[in-house]
Structure 1
Amino acid sequence: MSVTRELLRSYARPRQVMRALMDGNRTSDRPEARGFIYLLVGLLIIFLSQIPDLTGTGLAAPSLSEQLTGEDGPAPLDARLAITLFAWIFVWPLILYLFGGLTHVLARLAGGKGQGVNARLALFWAILAVSPLFLLRGMASVSHSSAMVMVMNYAIAAGFFWIWLSGLFEAERGEGAERA
């Protein structure tokens, strides 16, 4: 299974991709590890997409610089990059693990029959699947096109919710569910 091909297929057939991912997890001796790698790679790509804004070359540079200004002026570039990298690689995974667990509990209350690892996999895969759109958003930010940045923000949100909710639905169907 090529990850790049599956990422592209996620936009057209997210439920089939999620079934393939769950089948791969079923045969794995460490099913949580694959989802965690998907999450980390997706968050790293999202961090890389923010570098233009952090360096001051992107569209959001003035407002971001104002937020990071202290008594001595703006924070040094290496500090801004380090803090942002720390947040994306160490803080967001914790938040997303909690969110993935919460969505699984809510799905269980609504009648879901899946496993928690598959619910988290749906969330983490959706983040990885939309991460290339974040790179396009970063390029639009460098071009200083606020309309294009807004379009990319909507595309990211729509793509994320389409892939995640479709994957979550498939993950919560349970192992014995009839396959369509």
Structure 2
Amino acid sequence: MPVTSDIVATYRGPGRVVRRLLELGQREDRALVFVMAFCVVAFIAQLPSLSRRAHLEGLELNMLMGGALLGTVIILPLFFYLLAFISYGAARLIGGKGSAYGARVALFWALLSSTPLVLLNGLVAGFIGPGPTLSAVGLIWVAVFLWFWMSGMRQAQGFSE
């Protein structure tokens, strides 16, 4: 199934999609592509906001983009690998029977499948700016991301059987 179809299917049943991804076999390259694709999309989502900030504050856009690129595409994946490891350890403490790979796929897929909302958040930040609308969109993104992640972790760690 194409990634875009899987993303749409995740909004209907995130646990089923993660289960199907895990049934494809353990491939670390797949997990890495998920997290890197999210990070690239997250960088792209920041561009309208960075452009707005550069214009309003008289800053150099290239410098802002360089810092965002370093933080989003180089450092953020390392943070997500650490977060996946911590979530795997937490799941093991409460009786999870899955693998560390399953925890990575659950987290990375939740991130990737929530990218439409990340892009919406970036557009709101760039065109409307700070305010209640941006806060509402950010809150919706966090709620959807947590729903996807927890549903995926239940599948990956064997809690939903």
Q: Same fold (TM over 0.5)?
A: yes
- Structure with bigger helix share is 2
What is the distance in 2 between the residues matched to 1:106 and 1:147?
34
Instruction: Tell me if the contact between 2:85 and 2:104 (Cα under 8 Å) persists in the aligned partners.
Output: yes
2:87 paired residue number:
103
What is the aligned residue count? Answer: 160
What is the distance in 1 between the residues matched to 2:96 and 2:61?
46
2:116 paired residue number:
132
1:170 paired residue number:
155
Structure 1 residue 38 corresponds to structure 2 residue 34:
yes
Which secondary structure does the structure 1 equivalent of 2:114 belong to? Answer: helix
Structure having the higher Rg: 1
Percent sequence identity over matched residues? 30
What is the distance in 2 between the residues matched to 1:172 and 1:40?
23
Two-structure CA RMSD over aligned residues (Å): 2.0
Match of 2:62 among 46, 54, 78: 78
1:119 paired residue number:
103
What is the distance in 1 between the residues matched to 2:67 and 2:123?
22
1:94 paired residue number:
78
Q: CA deviation at 1:75?
A: 4.8
Mind listing any 5+ residue stretches in structure 1 that lack a counterpart?
66-73
Instruction: Tell me if the contact between 2:49 and 2:127 (Cα under 8 Å) persists in the aligned partners.
Output: no
Instruction: Tell me if the contact between 1:35 and 1:120 (Cα under 8 Å) persists in the aligned partners.
Output: yes
Mind listing any 5+ residue stretches in structure 2 that lack a counterpart?
none
Measured at CA, do residues 142 and 77 of structure 1 come closer, stay the same or move farther in structure 2, by a change above 3 Å?
closer
What is the distance in 2 between the residues matched to 1:41 and 1:102?
22
